[in-house]
Amino acid sequence: MMTLRTCTRAGGIASAALALAVAVNTAGSAAAAGQRPHENGGGGSGKALQAVLDEAVREGAPGALAQSRTPHRTLNLSSGVADVTTGRPPRAYMKYRVGSITKLFVATVVLQLVAEGRLRLDDTVANVIPGVVEGNGYEPDKITMRMLLNHTSGVADYTDNPRIEEIAVTDPRHDFTLRELAEAGVEYPPYFPPGTSWRYSDTDYVLLGLVIRSVTGRSYVHEINKRIIRPLHLRSTYFPGTDPRIRGPHLHGYTPVADDPAELRDTTEVNITFARASGDMISTVGDLDRFDSALLGGRLLPDRLLRAMLRPVPGSQPYPGSDMFRYGLGAVIATTPCGVKAYGNGGTLDGWETWTGSTRGGRHSMSFVFTTDAVNQVRLTEQAVTAEYCPDTTRKGAHTAP
């Protein structure tokens, strides 16, 4: 199981479900990393961000890829390889699993429904999805949409339930439903009474997937496609359903074998339905930059709801041990040492560590992916965000903000 709570913790399930994992040697990927091709577009050197990608590869990521975008230039940077077997370089058009960045899309649709008057942030699960959260100490009439969005609901995380992993292992083709995942969460008692504390739970977003279905009569996949993916022309962004493959050119993800950092296995192909609505999307760095720029530029939400989305929850800590990040309504707020704030989300699955973020107004966005979950995501994300938004700071100066 994953221990980093910026994303679906079901990454361990993905690993266990791979019946035909391919072992590769880190030394081989390190040798391939020496070829390190770079894609440079537009102005600006991107040296500080490039140094973070290189460090991720030195730490054991077979590949690392980032795109930085402003109104004046688009800069694509890479290190290592996209696939240790072929040695081909990472390219910005390559797709990958984005993990909990999915939550930012789900939260945007939920807030659009609020803007349309079809839902209120103070509506409760008892009213919107009756019968789903009940018993075992839960108070469904006190758990609101706002609490699901910002992880103050207290609902237990379904990824802590070993039954989900057992199903994924014994039946890799199993098509998990939102209701099934929600029930796996509420089998455990709540972490705390609704609204009294903060704790990351993937069950919150499974429940929001059910909320979208209840309010619109359509799935969260349908609504995200209709409201975000198609209007923004995110042609490389999609939900794979039970298809374990990534369509078209893509990066490969790798995870340690039995916690041995010297040996990795390819975790690219997996039935990702265990992460429905919490981490099941596939995209590219370019599509994510376009989405986050549109969101922060006010194209997807009215200003009052965008401000609500970006308002941090006191005491929230989506990246454990780091005070640089806080959580809003489906958004992670990063406050850099130089005071610049970036808003987005990050994700982890077996084989993937990801981030997307943009400044207010959407004029400066940056997305990256490391093709393993074996590197220090908290530190490297701090360094990458600092490198991107604090031009006078080197990566060694990426300290946490108060």
Cα(182)–Cα(188) distance, integer angstroms: 11
- H/E segment holding residue 367: strand 365-370
Band of pLDDT at residue 81, cut at 50, 70 and 90: very high
- Quick one: average pLDDT of 223-234? 98
pLDDT one-digit tens code per residue, 326-355: 999 999 999 999 999 999 999 999 999 999
Residue 371 binned pLDDT confidence (cut-offs 50, 70, 90): very high
What residue ranges do the domains of the chain occupy?
Answer: 11-397
| Residue range 57-65: mean pLDDT, rounded | 97
* pLDDT exceeds cutoff 70 at 39: no
- 144-203, pLDDT tens digit by residue? 999 999 999 999 999 999 999 999 999 999 999 999 999 999 999 999 999 999 999 999
Q: How confident is the model at residue 261 (pLDDT cuts 50, 70, 90)?
A: low
Residue type, 161: N
Each residue of 11-20: pLDDT tens digit? 444 444 333 3
pLDDT at residue 41 in the model: 31
The most confident of 38-42, 99-103, 256-260, by mean pLDDT: 99-103
Whether 257 contacts 263, CB under 8 Å = yes
Q: For residue 4, which phi and psi values (nearest 5 degrees)? A: -85, 125
Confidence of residue 392 (pLDDT cuts 50, 70, 90): low
Per-residue model confidence (pLDDT) at position 6: 38
Pick the CATH number of 11-397 from 3.40.710.10, 3.30.360.10, 3.40.50.10490, 3.40.190.10: 3.40.710.10
Q: Give me the helix-helix angle, 47-59 and 26-33, nearest 10°.
A: 160
**Token pair listed for 245:** 């493959």
CA distance linking residue 44 with residue 351, whole number of Å: 30
CB atoms within 10 A of CB 41: 15
Q: How far is it, in rounded angstroms, from Cα 20 to Cα 39? A: 33
pLDDT for res 391: 74
Instruction: Give the pLDDT of residue 5.
Output: 34
Q: Say what the pLDDT of residue 259 is.
A: 66
pLDDT at 211 over 70: yes
- Choice between 6 and 69, residue whose per-residue pLDDT is larger: 69
For residue 126, CA distances in Å to 132, 144, 184 come to 8, 9, 18
What 3-state DSSP class applies to 7? coil
8 A C-beta contact, residue 316 and residue 330: no
Whether 79 contacts 56, CB under 8 Å: yes
Size of the chain in residues: 402
More confident residue, 40 or 288: 288
pLDDT surpasses 90 at 40:
no
| Cα distance between residue 327 and residue 236, in whole Å | 27
Closest CA to 319 of 376, 272, 397: 376
pLDDT (tens digit, 9 = 90+) per residue, 101-120? 999 999 999 999 999 999 99
Alpha-carbon span 56 to 99, nearest angstrom = 18
Q: What is the mean pLDDT of the chain?
A: 89
Residue 272 pLDDT: 97
pLDDT-above-90 percentage for the chain: 84
The confidence score (pLDDT) of residue 45 equals 72
Higher-pLDDT residue of 136 and 258 is 136
Q: Which residue shows structure tokens 């990040």? A: 325
Q: Which uninterrupted H or E stretch holds 389?
A: helix 377-389
Q: What is the DSSP letter of 51?
A: H
